[in-house]
Structure 1
Amino acid sequence: MRTGPTILHLDMDAFYASAEQAAKPSLRGKAVVVGGLGPRGVVATASYEARKFGVHSAMPMGQARRLAPNAAYLVPRFRLYREISEQVMGLLRELSPLVEPLSLDEAFVDLEAGEVAWDESSAEAVGARLRADIRRVTGLTGSVGLAASKMLAKIASEEAKPDGLVLIRPGTERALLGPKSVRILPGVGPATGDHLRRAGILTVAEIAEAGEDELVRLLGKSHGAQLYAMALAHDARPVVAERDSKSVSVEDTYDVDIHERVRVRAEVQRLADRCVERLRAAERSGRTVVLKVRRYDFSTLTRSETLRGPTDDPGVVREAAARLLESVDTTGGVRLLGVGVSGLADYTQEDLFAQAAAQAAAAEESRGAEGAGEEGEERERAEVAEVVAEPVVGERRWMAGHDVRHAEFGAGWVQGSGLGRVTVRFETPYAVGPGRVRTFLVDDPLLVPGEPLPLVEPGE
């Protein structure tokens, strides 16, 4: 481990929801929830205003609506989020050649490798300048953590939220970690935390006091030793620059359309296993599982689910792909199926015991068990960060939050649709106050899908 706090962790604040608030003046300062709006949808991101009601990511959308019935519920606009992410990652790469993205809104940066920081004062100055640059370029805020290791830098950024900067000074790490819950350490999810709790271990200091031998007995040699080292604030993992490969995927085109739902499910499971084989062969793991379906009429659908952390576990990928398939209508037949994993990383970040539970559940299912029960549902909700359906290519759908343009009224966004009508609020990110609302027939020829506008007005 290095002697200076020269590893930076950036985490954008409530990224999707903040981007929507910045794009829509009428939603600024109000509760906003972004995610899948269907019966199986979950929350991807909730604004800080919505979090006051208890809404959080990975929560079933139905529960979120009960907690915050007056919030704005929007479908994600990944094109906008990717554009903002590219701007932010560009700012990070100006600081160092070693930038390790974890997702669209999160990354590690090795400031020492970029020769921009070498001690506490220089690192803090770089972090402050980065936060200002992000606000200037994107109009959004990000929280920055600075420390001598990746684990501590990420903990620091959590402490900094929202819109702050926290630097952990070398030599103070164990005192800072000691009283905190074991859940603060990477790889300790609900199941592992419960396992440690039953052994009387609740805090990081108690992990250190238990000793390595006891941790190995409880968790196994590799994971026990790793957790003990982290409790002592030891983490020598380097910041690894993003590789050329962005995803791993496999797909099959069928000579004869597949109509039987059972066969479609079996093919998706087989493709998921092949995808994981390629993932492991490349010594990678991935955070986002993608399902691709081309139907009998050549329309192509994609569905994606992003997990809490990178995985190379075949059971986790199979389960995610199966969940995604549930939202796809294959009645008319399927010409092509594909399963992919993106958001690649060099490590896994699964809850160790939750992963074992997934494997056990899969084995139980193969013996004819019906359902996973409450424990399985709890694990699924804990691991899934977002479940979002991308629009069908070429299909005209009015989805809440998406951009539209009207020949007379200009740019706006969909507030809602139903009963043959669509309600649109006409406003842009640069407006001072809320825009006006109009309602149209869903097939109004003057209303067409629009493109996301930059959050910061060009020329500013």
Structure 2
Amino acid sequence: MAVDDFKAYIRKIIHVDMDAFYASVEQLDDPNLRYLPIAVGGSSKRGVVAAASYEARKYGVKSAMSGRLAAKLCPDLVFVKPRFERYQEISKRIRDIFFEYTALVEPLSLDEAYLDVTVNRKKAPSATLLAKEIRQKIREKTGLNASAGISINKFLAKIASDINKPNGQKTIAPDEVLGFLETLDVRKFYGVGKVTKDKMYQLGIFTGADLKSKSLDELQQHFGKSGAFYYQVVRGIHLSEVKTERQRKSVGAERTFNDNISSEIYMISRLEAIAEELEKRLKKHGLAGKTITLKIKYSDFSVQTRSKTLGLFIASKELILEESKALLYQERLKNSVRLLGISLHKLNSEQNSSELSAKEAAAASRKHEQLRLPF
């Protein structure tokens, strides 16, 4: 690839990732929890850890782990009940800080976001210094630490933000990109999971250099459509722009039960509570959906989904429950059930960010001028 071709794909992207966000908020609000290994969530018999403090991570405790296993790994682990309203409150304050610097902000969750600062509100040439200033301001206004990755695209910025965690940042400048990618283990490529990693290893692809040696045809043969993605990103090309509007594709709610349930009659009362929670979430965002899906996780951990597309949008607890019951009775259950969930898809609206200047966002996304140093 020619140098000029490479320059055409250069932006200044910052990926900001809060450090152990939920756990850090709990330690911030309760001084007695500071420096202790804590897990947010996961305390019930079937509970799952939502977040773990760095003190707990030293024992191998991590998010999505069962509370039972977490307690086994760390006998002194302190379980804390999640307070999502509090996390949302602080997330909003952090997001407000982002908008002080750029109109192009793409939130990924409550605790991380992409920022395109190629053109920014501070008229600053250095994305590295902007990231440092943003992290400092987050610390001053919330008392929490954030890490950041800075590079020419979202793919690289995401990888970079993990390198100096916690409370650090890493810049991969334009002239460092190709060398960095060639030495990187493919398992650290964002989006390469365990299955893909194992397949790459079997093919003799261990580093970016190995990946780069494969032709586009070879990669597509082994990885399908993803092959073209791997072919481009290992050459520093990732065309995905920072999206200021993220379309919500579904809204759902689910419950894991303390004991497995075999009777469909008992499940109806559980579905009623789930439908009520889903109704609240839909109302909060002013949404309704046409496709309803019932998720059933059995005691052997196998998962089954049953869906139906309706002729009208629904959002009320009564209609959600009625359709969920119909899906439940659609066929016999294979086994006892440990989890039920309901979700609505094909929604009636998109989320819009009212905090953005449309003109400013459009102008920033179109402007791809040659970057001024320092990066």
Query: d(CA) in 1 for partners of 2:279 and 2:67?
Result: 17
SS in 1 for 2:272: strand
SS in 2 for 1:58: coil
Q: Normalising by structure 2, what TM-score?
A: 0.67
Aligned to 1:241: 244
Query: Contact between 1:157 and 1:165, CA under 8 Å: does it hold in 2?
Result: yes
Query: Contact between 2:149 and 2:162, CA under 8 Å: does it hold in 1?
Result: yes
- Pairs aligned (count): 289
Query: d(CA) in 1 for partners of 2:136 and 2:151?
Result: 20
SS in 2 for 1:210: coil
Query: d(CA) in 1 for partners of 2:115 and 2:293?
Result: 32
Question: In structure 1, what residue type is equivalent to 2:231?
Answer: Y
Q: Normalising by structure 1, what TM-score?
A: 0.56
**Does residue 140 of structure 2 align to residue 136 of structure 1?**
yes
Aligned to 2:227: 224
Aligned to 1:300: 276
Question: In structure 2, what residue type is equivalent to 1:237?
Answer: S
Query: d(CA) in 2 for partners of 1:261 and 1:337?
Result: 20
Query: Contact between 2:10 and 2:153, CA under 8 Å: does it hold in 1?
Result: no
Instruction: Give CA deviations for 1:252-303 in whole Å, capped at 9, x if unaligned.
Output: xxxxxxxx965998x9xxxxxxxxxxxxxxxxxxxxxxxx9535xx993459
Which one of the candidate residues 58, 62, 70 is aligned to 2:76? Answer: 70
Q: CA deviation at 1:8?
A: 0.7
Query: d(CA) in 1 for partners of 2:298 and 2:17?
Result: 27
SS in 2 for 1:155: helix
**Does residue 107 of structure 2 align to residue 101 of structure 1?**
yes
Query: Contact between 1:117 and 1:126, CA under 8 Å: does it hold in 2?
Result: no
Q: CA deviation at 1:233?
A: 1.9
Query: d(CA) in 2 for partners of 1:166 and 1:112?
Result: 17
Which one of the candidate residues 16, 21, 24 is aligned to 2:22? Answer: 16
Question: In structure 2, what residue type is equivalent to 1:41?
Answer: G
Query: Contact between 1:55 and 1:67, CA under 8 Å: does it hold in 2?
Result: yes
Aligned to 1:378: none
Instruction: Give CA deviations for 1:340-360 in whole Å, capped at 9, x if unaligned.
Output: xxxxxxxxxxxxxxxxxxxxx
- RMSD of aligned residue pairs (Cα, Å): 3.8
The alpha-carbon distance between structure 1 residues 228 and 261, as it changes in their structure 2 partners (threshold 3 A), is farther
The alpha-carbon distance between structure 1 residues 202 and 8, as it changes in their structure 2 partners (threshold 3 A), is same
The alpha-carbon distance between structure 1 residues 263 and 217, as it changes in their structure 2 partners (threshold 3 A), is farther
Q: CA deviation at 1:212?
A: 1.8
Query: d(CA) in 1 for partners of 2:334 and 2:219?
Result: 33
Q: CA deviation at 1:30?
A: 1.1
More divergent stretch after superposition (104-113 vs 8-17)? 104-113
Question: In structure 1, what residue type is equivalent to 2:296?
Answer: A
Query: Contact between 2:40 and 2:80, CA under 8 Å: does it hold in 1?
Result: yes
SS in 1 for 2:91: helix
Aligned to 1:190: 194
Runs of 5+ in structure 2 lacking a partner? 1-6, 254-261, 281-291, 302-316, 322-330, 342-375
Query: Contact between 1:44 and 1:58, CA under 8 Å: does it hold in 2?
Result: yes
Query: d(CA) in 2 for partners of 1:185 and 1:133?
Result: 29
Query: d(CA) in 2 for partners of 1:250 and 1:16?
Result: 21
Aligned to 1:41: 47
Instruction: Give CA deviations for 1:403-458 in whole Å, capped at 9, x if unaligned.
Output: xxxxxxxxxxxxxxxxxxxxxxxxxxxxxxxxxxxxxxxxxxxxxxxxxxxxxxxx
Runs of 5+ in structure 1 lacking a partner? 252-259, 268-291, 305-316, 327-333, 339-365, 372-386, 390-460
**Does residue 326 of structure 2 align to residue 322 of structure 1?**
no
